[in-house]
Amino acid sequence: MQIKLASSYGFCYGVKRAIEIAEQNPHSATYGPLIHNKDEINRLKNNFNIGLVENIDEAHKEDSIVIRTHGIPKKELKQLKAEGKKIINATCPYVTTPQQIVERMSKDGYSIVIFGDKNHPEIKGVVSYAEDEKDAFVVLKPSDLYDLPLKSKVAIVAQTTRKPQDFLAIVNELVLRVKEVRVFNTICNATFENQDAAAELAKEADVMIVIGGKHSSNTKQLHSICSNYCTDSYLIENENELNPQWFEGKSLCGISAGASTPDWIVQNVVKKLKEIVS
């Protein structure tokens, strides 16, 4: 069986930057998981003594706080700064952008529509930058726009890891409903590249392995895209989850990885896979 890696996969710029920032600040603690990959979080803990706090109360006890790539709510960031703590902001610049747009456009009197998952930490942070959070609406599909109390002018941004075609569907619906729509494409280019590369590989593979955290939005998107072209597509976090039965009678195994997946995990999967099919 041939094993082929996607032409673009794994760590994006924001994640690489966050890992480097964390490594440069040992004996600190991240506010929430720095990235959605527990194996990499454990590596940082074991090698750099970087802890993890899950809420503002736990953060009070730490001297140095690393802000996760997905960002945190504006009020919580303000609280931490007011306490005089050392704040190391590893928020991805591509996440900071929609935060700034929401803050500016809401001050200018626009209703805010955010395309994404309301329970995702990135979106929780973005919503918090609206002047009035009651005028910021999170949607996942065009029908979610129905009956929303939108103003006559609306600004829309997107979660960085969402599909462009889904974003456009919501934009098109907004244009039909609202007099003025300001569209800000805040989907990350790295997301495009990984998704396009995964789709192309899935078209020719008869089994696909997508590597990444089970809670990672962009990894789940990759798996969904691969499943559209290759029915035998599997999402795993590391090499220990590989099942030899998946590869029986297969000729080409494609491999992709989410933006929070370090290359050392990808290489471990490739090594284990070669052992399985040898």
Cβ contact 90:64 at 8 Å: no
Q: Are residues 199 and 273 in the same domain?
A: yes
Q: Are residues 98 and 137 in the same domain?
A: yes
- The CATH number of the domain where 114 resides is what? 3.40.1010.20
Output the pLDDT for position 191. 80
- CA neighbours within 13 Å on the CB side: how many for 104? 10
Output the pLDDT for position 161. 84
Active-site choice (62, 76, 122, 239): 122
Taking the chain (278 residues) in consecutive chunks of 10 residues, what is each chunk's mean pLDDT? 96 93 96 92 96 89 92 94 91 96 98 96 97 96 96 96 92 96 93 92 98 90 96 97 96 96 96 93
Q: Are residues 212 and 267 in the same domain?
A: yes
- 38-48 helix and 13-23 helix, angle to the nearest 10 degrees: 20
Q: Are residues 110 and 170 in the same domain?
A: yes
- Of 29, 58, 91, which closes a domain? 91
Give alpha helix (H) positions in 163-253: 164-177, 189-204, 217-229
Is 122 labeled as catalytic in the residue annotation? yes
Output the pLDDT for position 93. 94
Q: Are residues 220 and 209 in the same domain?
A: yes
Whole-angstrom Cα distance, residue 122 to residue 170? 19
Q: Are residues 87 and 102 in the same domain?
A: no
Q: Which amino acid, one-letter code, is at 136?
A: A
Q: Provide the domain limits for residue 147.
A: 94-183
- The CATH number of the domain where 48 resides is what? 3.40.50.11270
Q: Are residues 135 and 200 in the same domain?
A: no
Count of structural domains within the chain: 3
Q: Where are the beta strands (DSSP E) in 44-172?
A: 51-53, 64-67, 86-89, 111-115, 136-139, 153-158
Q: Are residues 115 and 71 in the same domain?
A: no
Q: Are residues 111 and 50 in the same domain?
A: no
Record the tokens describing residue 101, joined without a space: 């747009």
Does residue 59 sit in helix, strand or coil? helix
The Cα-based distances of 125 to 35, 119, 156, 172 in angstroms read 15, 10, 15, 25
Q: What is the DSSP letter of 135?
A: G
Q: Are residues 272 and 196 in the same domain?
A: yes
- Of 162, 183, 204, which closes a domain? 183
Record the tokens describing residue 112, joined without a space: 């805010």
Q: Are residues 197 and 269 in the same domain?
A: yes
- Of 69, 91, 113, which closes a domain? 91
Q: Are residues 83 and 156 in the same domain?
A: no
**DSSP letters of 241-273?**
G--GGGGTT-SEEEEEE-TT--HHHHHHHHHHH
